[in-house]
Amino acid sequence: MRRLLIASIPLLFACALFDSAGAPATSVSRPPGSPTLAPEPTQPLVSTPSPSPIPDATALPDPAGFQWAPVTGGLQSPVDLQNAGDERLFIVEQRGMIRVFDEAGLRDEPFLDIRDRVFDEGNEQGLLGLAFHPSFADNGSLYVNYTTGDGDTVIARFTGGEGPAVDPATETILLTYDQPYPNHNGGGMAFGPDGMLYIGSGDGGAAGDPEERAQNLDTLLGKLLRIDVDGGDPYSIPADNPFAAGGGRPEIWAYGLRNPWRFAFDPETGDLFIADVGQNQWEEIDFLPAGSPGGANFGWDFREGFELFEGLTPPGLVDPLAGYSHSEGCSVTGGVVVRDPALPEWNGVYLYGDFCSGLMWGLVRDATNVWHNGVLFDTAFQITSFGVGHDGRVYVLDRGGGVYRLERSE
């Protein structure tokens, strides 16, 4: 029987209730990588996203009226899709290239080609993430997360993105950190509504986090990092980072994560959803409401999802918002909050999936501030990532090389 757990909790994050559902799911083995919520926010964001004139959905939409329509194909292991504020879609290929799709189709010439410095022979290594600076139209800066030939993680900036292609020689390396194993390397990147760059870092690999890196505040592994790329050379530490004054690496914003492959901010509320890939039993969605202070501990490797994994559970852990067992998949792929004006039934729904089973779920909060979780699509995709166009259209990437868009059925 399918085990679908969710924290059904009022906005004040009190008691938890669990939902379950039953349906068959396929299982494919591949390593890629309920319940209370975070504390009530105590610290405001620097900037406040603008509310939508479209009211948020208070129930999951009926998926029968919608489809994933093919957009393009022929890509090699696409793992990320971003927009830079215009009609272009920028698609990251794991081998070390960024391709452009626009009204003319998929361009042959890459936007950025750094295959000469990217190691992509492992399932979880390669060019893994992309984020455009909020002022990209003015400064032409973009940021990438990739694996070097030594197996290290590099966070780098490239400039000159105003043109049809970026010169690889413009690279400035912001961060390099060792990866002890070739798995759980993270890869997600995003600018928050506060203008800071957030970086998802896995625990460094091997089974069960044997060196306890996710709970070790002296390493960047198993963390969500937060840096200011505009305040220093090559970056500065935001003063409100939890360990800015000591006690841990100052780049750390949150910890206790196994492999946060993909995370996303709601562009209208600033809420943060983090999909953390599990070990052998549970996949989880973690949640930080807009304005939450730094320092959240999501519990790995004391807990995997909702269950004790190792040792005793210390106080103060932030519980998952939702999760599912490995009877339904094996590797969660974090999604996006749908804000597509053409699909008002989906407004405010957090859509996510599983790489192994191809299932997609939706998370939505009802009028009483209770969250609901449910399966929406059963696909044949190996889901590597979700993305959003400048117009709010939602896309999903299939490792086999395809890009698909959420649309109404014909």
Computed on alpha carbons and rounded to an integer, the radius of gyration of the chain in Å comes to 19
Average pLDDT of the chain, as a whole number: 89
CA separation for the pair 184, 300 (Å, rounded)? 13
Domains contained in the chain, number: 1
Judge if the upstream peptide bond of residue 301 is cis by omega within 30 degrees of 0: yes
Distance of CA 183 to the CA centre of its chain: 17
Give the span between the Cα atoms of 221 and 186, in whole angstroms: 9
Cis geometry, peptide bond prior to residue 234 (ω within 30 degrees of 0) = yes
Identify the pLDDT of residue 52: 58
Give the rounded distance of the alpha carbon of 282 from its chain centre. Answer: 17
How many C-beta atoms lie closer than 10 Å to residue 73's C-beta?
13
Q: What is the largest CA-CA distance in the chain?
A: 57
Residue 117: DSSP 8-state: T
Per the CB < 8 A criterion, the answer to whether 345 and 321 are in contact is no
Residue 228 near residue 238, CB atoms below 8 Å: yes
CATH no. for residue 33? 2.120.10.30
Please, what is the end-to-end C-alpha distance for the chain in angstroms? 33
CA dihedral 253, 228, 389, 69 (to 10 degrees): -40
Domain range spanning residue 147?
A: 4-408
Q: CA-to-CA distance for 123 and 205, rounded, in angstroms?
A: 12
- Residues with pLDDT less than 70, the chain: 1-52
3-state SS class at 250: coil
Closest CA to 352 of 6, 54, 97, 1: 6
Give the angle subtended at the CA of 22 by the CAs of 10 and 321, to the nearest 5°: 25
How many residues in the chain?
Answer: 410
